[in-house]
């Protein structure tokens, strides 16, 4: 069995969904499990619903109405019969969202987030599955929450591999075309969990691992894995083949084309990962697989924007050593800030953080009790794999470099 993953851009409207059909018809769809993300920017729109729920309940209905209208316009383009059963299925999904928001008593943002935002994927897969059936491509719609079992760590759930393996093997008919969701799982109480933003790639890898799939293909709006994001860098070049190790390194440093967790389960079973263009599905794209000596021969550029740089120093000029660092990292963990770079001297400690869970304000309060703290918000972290002098100079030009760190293969710059 093969696993395909289509992201939000590939199902953003009716024409895009019809293009997914073209891809499936060109490359085949027998014995295939298709993982689909929420349509377009719907995850952002569902996050807006959650924000309204906590901060402005009067705006909840308006926020949800925008999501409903978006999906209804796609339905009208795909299904000419207004009595088609898919209209009823979509209506039921929206009623479930409204029902949850009405009866929910939990004050936990992350819990509410997972129960609401998940409907982006449920809606997209319901519509795509119905359209495929409508045009004669028979398929089975699966609720991935019954397949991928996790702990209860909302918004960043950890997979229970043994239980997930059991559920996937028991419930997926590998002889058919199956349609399911990315990003989602469920805990022991069957509440929805999510695997982290952009987690659909990871979902595909989990399912491939459990099914011993022959390959995973991620269909993107780019030709494959490039040495730089063309939205941020000029003259990006395609990498034809790279090793699991190199892909994991690139993903770890923030390469957006592959989710950081995706490679680990695939590497364990040596399942190849292909990154291909849904615009030109017959093109080779990039293959990630086993083998040394297939690292890129050119510098690879990665940028993470909207980062936070903290510079901590002791109040009494004492050393910052193991005890202090252990305490600092515990605070990062408690406030859910991801560490992307660290640099320390005898009496100072610098760290670049990702504040996606909004834990910075309470973290600063605690740190300032024991340390002198300098905080730079809205900085960018640039990473160059396989760097040379010219590649480093190209990033330094015209920028204020706050931190620079060099290794044998990698250089990182925090710039303002």
Q: What Å distances lie between residue 415 and 71, 284, 402, CA to CA?
A: 40, 36, 5
365 is in an annotated binding site: no
Consult the annotation and say whether 359 binds a ligand: no
Whose CA is closest to 267, among 285, 284, 291, 250?
Answer: 291
| CA 171/CA 177 separation, integer angstroms | 13
Is 398 annotated as ligand-binding? no
User: How many C-beta atoms lie closer than 10 Å to residue 143's C-beta?
Assistant: 14
Q: How far is CA 165 from CA 221, 259, 266, 364, in A?
A: 31, 21, 14, 41
The single-letter DSSP state of residue 159 is: B
5 labelled binding-site residue: yes
Question: CA 44, CA 76: separation in Å to the nearest integer?
Answer: 23
Query: Residue 231 annotated as binding?
Result: yes
Q: What is the rounded end-to-end Cα distance, in angstroms, of the chain?
A: 47
Cα→Cα distances 49→1, 53, 93, 210, 278, Å = 37, 6, 15, 34, 30
121 in a labelled binding site: yes
Is 327 strand, coil or helix? helix
Nearest-10 Cα torsion for 350, 356, 361, 367: -30
In angstroms, the CA 156 to CA 54 distance is 20
214 is in an annotated binding site: no
Q: Rounded distance, CA 219 to CA 319, Å? A: 50
Beta bridge partner(s), residue 53: none
Count CB atoms within 10 A of the CB of residue 315: 10
Q: Are 223 and 205 in contact (CB under 8 A)?
A: no
User: Residues comprising the binding site?
Assistant: 5-8, 43, 121, 231
Q: What are the binding residues for ATP? A: 5-8, 231
Binding residue ranges for substrate: 43, 121
């Amino acid at each position: 069995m093969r696993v395909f993953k289509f992201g939000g851009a590939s199902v953003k409207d009716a024409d895009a969904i019809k293009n997914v059909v073209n891809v499936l018809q060109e490359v085949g769809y027998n014995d295939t499990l298709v993982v689909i993300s929420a349509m377009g920017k719907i995850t952002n729109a569902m996050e807006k619903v959650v924000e309204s729920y906590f901060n402005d309940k009067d705006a909840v209905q308006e926020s949800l109405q925008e999501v409903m209208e978006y999906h209804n316009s796609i339905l009208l383009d795909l299904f000419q019969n207004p009595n088609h059963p898919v209209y009823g299925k979509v209506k039921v999904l929206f009623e479930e969202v409204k029902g949850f928001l009405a009866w929910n008593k939990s004050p936990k943002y992350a819990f509410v987030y997972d129960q609401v935002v998940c409907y982006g994927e449920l809606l997209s897969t319901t519509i795509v599955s119905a359209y495929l059936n409508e045009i004669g491509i028979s398929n089975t719609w699966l609720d991935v929450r019954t397949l991928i079992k996790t702990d209860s760590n909302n918004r960043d759930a950890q997979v229970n591999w043994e239980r997930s393996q059991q559920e996937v093997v028991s419930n997926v008919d590998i002889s058919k075309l199956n349609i399911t969701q990315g990003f989602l799982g469920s805990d022991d109480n069957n509440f929805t969990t999510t695997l982290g933003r952009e987690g659909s790639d990871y979902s595909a890898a989990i399912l491939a691992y459990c099914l011993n799939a022959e390959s995973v293909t991620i269909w993107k709006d780019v030709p494959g894995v490039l040495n730089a994001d063309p939205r941020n860098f000029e003259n990006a070049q395609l990498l034809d083949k790279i090793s699991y190790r190199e892909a994991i390194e690139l993903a770890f440093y923030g390469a957006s084309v592959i989710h950081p967790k995706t490679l680990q389960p695939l590497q364990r079973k040596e399942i190849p990962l292909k990154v291909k263009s849904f615009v030109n599905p017959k093109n080779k794209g990039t293959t990630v697989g086993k083998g040394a000596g297939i690292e890129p021969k050119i510098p690879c550029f990665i940028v993470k924007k909207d980062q936070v740089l903290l510079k901590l120093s002791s109040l009494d000029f004492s050393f910052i050593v193991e005890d202090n660092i252990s305490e600092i990292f515990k605070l990062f963990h408690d406030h859910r800030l991801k560490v992307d770079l660290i640099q320390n001297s005898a009496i100072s400690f610098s760290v670049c953080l990702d504040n996606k869970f909004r834990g910075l304000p309470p973290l600063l309060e605690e740190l300032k009790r024991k340390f002198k703290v300098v905080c730079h918000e809205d900085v960018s972290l640039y990473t160059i794999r396989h760097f040379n002098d010219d590649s480093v100079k190209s990033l330094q030009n015209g920028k204020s470099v706050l931190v620079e760190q060099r290794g044998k293969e990698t250089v990182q710059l925090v710039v303002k």
